[in-house]
Amino acid sequence: MNNDSTSATRTITEHTGLVAVLADLQRQGWRATELWDGEEWGPIHASWSAEEIAGHAAETELAKLRFLSESHAGHEGSMLLVWGNSPIELIADMTTANGFAEAIERAQRTVWPHYPEDEVATRWACPKCGSADVSAEGGEEPSEPLNGTLDGESTIDDTCEITCNTCQHQDSAMFFAIDLDQL
């Protein structure tokens, strides 16, 4: 985690958040066993650290991790990772049976104490350098809820172009510019 002395809040990137969640899941007795790389399941070696697992998972846009409970034989769980949302939304889906969802929530709370309502956690950070010093352009905030859409697609553009003011990395995110201006 980046503890910048000039910042009142700590910056948590998708990578550092995932590493912390994986480490806590391991402490809770959930061992990552397989990684879906978009084409096939591959084994996660017992010697891999949480840092290494997160690194391998980051090599694919939509990664899945499979876990086994070390304390309850036959209990397994899985999580889907969607990179590019925000750190707190990286885990997009998970198995809810056998206590796995609760384990993930406890692990998320080690990173974001008020998960899932933690406002600070939804701040975007540069995926390249971890800086929270970002600028955003574009995107529209809907004036009313999007109940009626054409062919299931939104009629507004909610994609912001993000520029890191520290390393000049450019990316895009599904946030409203008005929200990013409040950072």
Place of tokens 């809040």: 9
How far from 59 is each of 34, 137, 148, CA to CA, in Å? 14, 27, 36
With a cut of 60, say whether residue 143 has pLDDT above it.
no
* 1-48 tens-digit pLDDT: 333 332 323 457 888 889 999 999 999 999 999 999 888 999 999 999
- What are the DSSP E strand ranges found in the chain? 30-36, 41-43, 62-69, 76-82, 91-94, 134-137, 160-164, 170-173
To the nearest whole percent, how much of the chain has pLDDT over 90?
31
Q: Does this model's pTM top 0.75?
A: no
Cα gap 175→3, rounded to integer Å: 24
What are the residue boundaries of the structural domains of the chain, listed by start? 14-122, 134-180
Residue 31: closest CA among 20, 23, 39: 23
With a cut of 70, say whether residue 139 has pLDDT above it.
no
On the CB side of 88, CA atoms within 13 Å amount to 18
